[in-house]
Amino acid sequence: MGLSVIPHDVFVAYGIDEALSQSQPHGSGHIHHTFCVKTLERNYIFQCINQKIFPDVDALMENLFHVTCYITNCSTLKNSTLRFFKTINGGSYYTDCQGEYWRVMEMIPYAVTYDKALSAEMAFEAGKILGKFHFLLRNFPSKELHIILPGFHQLEVRWHDFILAMKKAKPERLREAGNLIQSITSVSIDEIAFSNKIYHSATPRRVVHNDPKINNVLFDQHLKGICMIDLDTVMPGSYLHDFGDALRTTANPFEEDEPDISLIQFDSNLLKAYCEGYLPHLKNVLTNDEIDGLPHAPAHMTFIIGLRFLTDYLNEDVYFRIDHSKHNLQRAKAQFALYHDFVMREKEIKRIIHSLIN
Ligand code: GN1
Ligand code: MG
């Protein structure tokens, strides 16, 4: 999908005058094509949905309208969530003449996303926004949500995909990834056990974001958090996945694909600030099982995402958008370096969490 412009009929479907608007590509997501469209009255985000990853667009958009309307109804704050527009025919999305699916949402004025936390204050804000999101959705009727991507964070499923990818991979890709594959195989058993505990034990099913990385938090011009964005993966799941994925990115002062892996370490000030923002909202909601799982959650989610990048490298980059042929391998190496640091310093993480919860 090499998309650089929005087709004319999309503007018509949403009743927006193309001649009086300016559009340009927007954001750094790996999945959809996103544009910012500025008009005289209002600015919009237009998104072309990746159908390979989200084939059931009706279910996806139903979830999005359901969750965003629910949040809007229970929050008194302005911009507490995204606002999607319907087409002039009342549709939740539009299919263009090429068969691509488009959705349109309001662009919140002066709101920005960042790929990294620039300060502890920003990490705190990001934590606060996820905490509020979880808190507002704590009584949402989760059975009413469609399961958009089954087993999304289930490591057994991801590991199975990885084994298949290894079997089918080109020899040079296997060779390039050889050392990394060796280094993760020995720890996979523990991670799969942790994942199974989340999926099969008493850990409650919650309504969670499933992709709460730092660049899915919207900030205002004073770097105050506004709301969570990219709600495609909101599904019943575990707080541990969200907490872990948020720290995978927010506590990491390096890029997700940092090429010099010898530098990669998480920053405990960022991690602490995130927890200070997040935990107060959930203190009385979390079960003991969930609290026990929190210190390992960042390592666990980093392992899962690293494995998905590696699998995609072996599969010749069919899932994540890449900038160069070894991009997914570079991402995987960076994620596993971060994983090892999280594991090595887990006691430090536990101390921070417990100092805030007890
Ligand atoms: C993808 O859509 P985007 O780029 O925010 C992926 C997440 C990964 C992330 C890694 C639906 O997120 O699961 O954590 O890349 N989303 C999907 O940056 O697979
Ligand atoms: Mg996403």
257 touches ligand 1 (CB under 6 Å): no
Cα→Cα distances 21→38, 41, 184, 273, Å: 5, 10, 49, 40
> Among the atoms of ligand 1, which is closest to the Cα of residue 31?
2
Torsion region of 10: left, alpha or beta (phi above 0 gives left; psi -120 to 50 gives alpha): alpha
pTM value is 0.94
CA of 319, closest atom in ligand 1: 19
CB 104 within 8 A of CB 46: yes
Which of 208, 203, 178, 149 lies closest to 333 in space, CA to CA? 178
| Pocket flag, ligand 1, residue 214 (CB < 6 Å) | no
The pLDDT tens digits along the chain (358 residues) read: 457 899 999 999 999 999 999 999 998 788 999 999 999 999 999 999 999 999 999 999 999 999 999 999 998 888 899 999 999 999 999 999 999 999 999 999 899 999 999 999 999 999 999 999 999 999 999 889 999 999 999 999 999 999 999 999 999 999 999 999 999 999 999 999 999 999 887 678 899 999 999 999 999 999 999 999 999 999 999 999 999 999 999 999 999 999 999 999 999 999 999 999 999 999 899 999 999 999 999 999 999 999 999 999 999 999 999 999 999 999 999 999 999 999 999 999 999 999 999 7
For residue 353, the CA-to-ligand 2 centroid distance in Å is 27
Token representation of residue 345: 């310093």
Nearest CA to ligand 1 atom 19: 31
Cα(326) to centroid(ligand 1), Å: 18
- In whole angstroms, what is the distance from residue 56 CA to residue 103 CA? 14
For ligand 1, whether the C-beta of 233 sits within 6 Å is: yes
Q: How far is the CA of 31 from the centre of ligand 2 (A)?
A: 7
Question: Using CA atoms, how far apart are residues 78 and 92, in angstroms rounded to an integer?
Answer: 22
Nearest CA to ligand 1 atom 18: 30
> Does the CB atom of residue 31 touch ligand 1 within 6 A?
yes
CA of 29 to the centre of ligand 2 (A): 7
Say what the pLDDT of residue 2 is. Answer: 58
